[in-house]
Structure formats: C-alpha cells, structure tokens
C-alpha cells in the first residue's frame, strides 16, 4: 500500500485541506489509507433469478474464492477475480449476479421496501439499487426509476431487463421536477443523489478525482437541496426517504439533512441494523462509511415525513 505522504501528493490539495478540517487527523489519515488500498470485487446474488446456494456451488466449480458478507446474506466479496473477469462469466451475462460495491447495498436495506409498496428511486442509473429494491420486494409492487440523462436511462432499462425486474417504470427527466408529476404517492423514496464522489477516490486512478472542485461541491449541494425537497413532496405522510451519497464532505451530507429537517417536515429516523463494519461513524443516526479495501466511502441517513 502507498504511504499517506504519497497519497496526499496525488489528490487535490484543496480536498486534502478540507478533509483535515472536517475530520480528526486520525480519521482523515484512515480515509487516505482507504483511498490508497486496492478495492476488492464485490457482488450480490440476484434473488429474482437465482439463489445463494446455487451461486456458491458455481463459485466452487469455477474455483472462485469468496467471503460471505456478515450483515447481508446476498452479498459476496470475491478474492481472486476482478470485475472484468467476473463480467465474462455466464452467471453475470444471465443476470444471476450484480457487481455492486458493498456500501451501495446498504441504502436499499435501510429503505426496507416491502411487497406491494410504491417506491421511487430518484437517481436510478445504472440500476444497482433499483434492481436490489425489486429483489427485496420480490417483484411485487411498483418502482418508478428516474434518470435525467437519456443514455444512462437506456443503460438502466437494459440492466432492469437483464436482472428480471418486472415492476419498474423508467421515467426520463430531472428529479427536481418530479414533484410536479406526483403528489404524496410513494410509500418510500430512495435519493442516492448525484455527488462529488469523494468516497470513490483511488489515489493512483486520477479519473476518480480529476473533476473534483469546491465549486462542483457547492453546485451539487444546491442540486441536492432541490432533489430532497422534490422527494419530500412526492412521499406519503409517514413515509420514509433514505438519502445517500458516495461522498464525505459536510456540504453534501450533514448540511443537506439539517436543511431537510429545518425547512421540510422531515425528522431523522433511527437505523435499526447493526452493520458490524469497522470503518463506520454513526453521528446522530447519520452513518458515514470510510473508504477501505472492501468498502467505498458513503453517507446514509433515513428520514421520516411527519
């Protein structure tokens, strides 16, 4: 693994300065170490088409070494193959598995969608969480999967189809405008919002951080406020909205939750799942996962509409 000095040299200076302002030195060092580790390949079995035991039999037959995920029985950590190699296998091509970061599997589990509910995934492409929501709902109910970008929406449709999702409607349009189309119709809303992606930075892959800037963080923070307000308007009274990002800064995380609780009739709801993850900070029921070799950096908070 690279030294912290080496990692600090590669990442944007302004990002590093802010990291040490917003976290204790020990936590900031831990975050940088996570950005210096090589991420393991992780995936989940698609229970709409397959089952865990058959998948584990396939892994043994193909000599794929794996660990189970302690807090999610459908999740697996692959130890001797990368994503590209996995994507060449029939189990991938047939839609029996979905390549997905472990952190990304957590928001749908916290949302806890049930059979027969009406659920909105506000920023759905490429579909990792939408397909997981459909599996948790056992393909019973309704999911509106929203995506603003036309090309990404096509990719989303393709992924939903190959994973065997039958209860989806893909809506092409801006998430902040969705409030004009639906009024208090959804039991649950997932807002896995566009963000600056700091939790996914890998120090020797400049593509992961080259578009980062403080200006972009502020632009996204303004968009996130509009999106969470739109999510609030379409959610039934007493309904649940889960807000998540794959970034680490305050402006796109805690500040958005504070805005939602001050300006909209939202309150933070307790998360009753013990994820048994080492690199996790739980501050007033706002969860922050620090990047590590098997987890991307993530922020998750569960809100209830009063």
Q: Residue 62's domain is classified under what CATH number?
A: 3.30.70.1170
Where a domain ends, among 54, 72, 99?
99
Q: Give the Cα-Cα-Cα angle 185, 287, 31 (nearest 5 degrees).
A: 135
Residues 15-38: what's their mean pLDDT?
96
pLDDT at 151: 97
pLDDT at 218: 98
Residues 10-35: what's their mean pLDDT?
97
* Same domain, residue pair 270 and 143: yes
pLDDT at 276: 86
- 41, 97 contact by CB (below 8 A): no
* Same domain, residue pair 285 and 218: yes
Percent of the chain surpassing pLDDT 70 = 100
Residue 10 lies in a domain: no
Closest to 168 measured CA to CA, from 194, 198, 195, 146 = 146
Judge whether residue 4 has pLDDT over 90: yes
Question: Tell me: the pLDDT tens digits for 158-200?
Answer: 999 999 999 999 999 999 999 999 999 999 999 999 999 999 9
pLDDT at 227: 98
Judge whether residue 2 has pLDDT over 90: no
Judge whether residue 23 has pLDDT over 80: yes
Where a domain ends, among 65, 99, 133?
99
- Residue 238 pLDDT class (50, 70, 90 cuts): very high
Cα–Cα distance for residue pair 232/266, rounded to 1 Å: 8
Q: DSSP label at 291?
A: P
* Same domain, residue pair 75 and 113: no
Residue 192 lies in a domain: yes
Could you list the active site residues?
A: 246
Whole-prediction pTM: 0.97
Judge whether residue 113 has pLDDT over 90: yes
Residue 280 lies in a domain: yes
Judge whether residue 1 has pLDDT over 80: no
pLDDT at 78: 98
Residues 287-304: what's their mean pLDDT?
97
pLDDT at 161: 98
**What are the angstrom distances between the C-alpha of 176 and each of 60, 98, 275?**
46, 28, 31
* Same domain, residue pair 162 and 298: yes
Cα–Cα distance for residue pair 89/96, rounded to 1 Å: 10
Range of the domain at 75: 41-99
Structure-token pair, residue 131: 């397909």
pLDDT at 278: 87
pLDDT at 221: 98
Judge whether residue 244 has pLDDT over 90: yes
* Same domain, residue pair 272 and 209: yes
Residue 52 lies in a domain: yes
**What are the angstrom distances between the C-alpha of 304 and each of 17, 232, 265, 271?**
34, 9, 8, 11
pLDDT at 179: 97
Closest to 135 measured CA to CA, from 57, 66, 59, 75 = 75
Residue 236 lies in a domain: yes
Residue 1 lies in a domain: no
* Same domain, residue pair 131 and 242: yes
* Same domain, residue pair 184 and 235: yes
* Same domain, residue pair 291 and 192: yes
* Same domain, residue pair 84 and 211: no
Structure-token pair, residue 26: 């020990």
Judge whether residue 45 has pLDDT over 90: yes
The HSE-up count of residue 159 (CA atoms within 13 Å, CB side) is 23
- The number of domains in the chain is 2
Residue 177 lies in a domain: yes
pLDDT at 211: 96
* Same domain, residue pair 191 and 238: yes
* Same domain, residue pair 74 and 158: no
SS3 content of the chain, % helix, strand, coil (to 5): 40, 25, 35
pLDDT at 30: 96
Provide the mean pLDDT of the chain: 97
* Same domain, residue pair 67 and 139: no
Q: Residue 300's domain is classified under what CATH number?
A: 3.40.50.150
The HSE-up count of residue 66 (CA atoms within 13 Å, CB side) is 27
């Amino acid at each position: 693994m690279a030294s912290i000095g080496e990692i600090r040299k590669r990442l944007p200076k302004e990002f590093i300065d802010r990291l040490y302002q917003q976290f204790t030195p020990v936590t900031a060092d831990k975050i940088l170490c996570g950005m210096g580790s090589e991420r393991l390949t992780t995936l989940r079995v698609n229970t709409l088409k397959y089952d865990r035991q058959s998948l584990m039999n396939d892994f043994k037959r193909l000599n794929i070494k794996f660990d189970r995920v302690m807090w999610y029985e459908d999740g697996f950590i692959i130890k001797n193959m990368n994503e590209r190699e996995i994507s060449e296998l029939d189990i991938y091509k047939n839609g029996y598995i979905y390549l997905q970061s472990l952190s990304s599997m957590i928001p749908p589990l916290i949302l806890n969608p049930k059979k027969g509910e009406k659920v909105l995934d506000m920023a759905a492409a490429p579909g990792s969480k939408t397909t997981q929501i459909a599996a948790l709902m056992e393909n019973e109910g309704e999911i509106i999967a929203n995506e603003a970008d036309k090309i990404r929406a096509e990719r989303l449709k393709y992924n939903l189809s190959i994973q065997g999702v039958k209860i989806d409607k893909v809506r092409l349009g801006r998430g902040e405008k969705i409030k004009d189309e639906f009024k208090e119709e959804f039991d649950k809303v997932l807002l896995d919002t566009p963000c600056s992606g700091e939790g996914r930075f890998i120090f020797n892959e400049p593509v992961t951080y080259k578009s980062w800037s403080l200006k972009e963080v502020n632009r996204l923070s303004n968009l996130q406020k509009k999106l969470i307000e739109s999510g609030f308007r379409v959610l039934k009274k007493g309904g649940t909205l889960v807000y998540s990002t794959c970034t680490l800064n305050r402006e796109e995380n805690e500040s958005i939750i504070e805005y939602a609780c001050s300006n909209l009739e939202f309150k933070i709801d307790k998360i009753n799942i013990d994820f048994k993850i080492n690199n996790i900070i739980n501050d007033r029921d706002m969860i922050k996962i620090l990047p590590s070799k098997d987890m991307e950096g993530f922020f998750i908070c569960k809100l209830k509409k009063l």
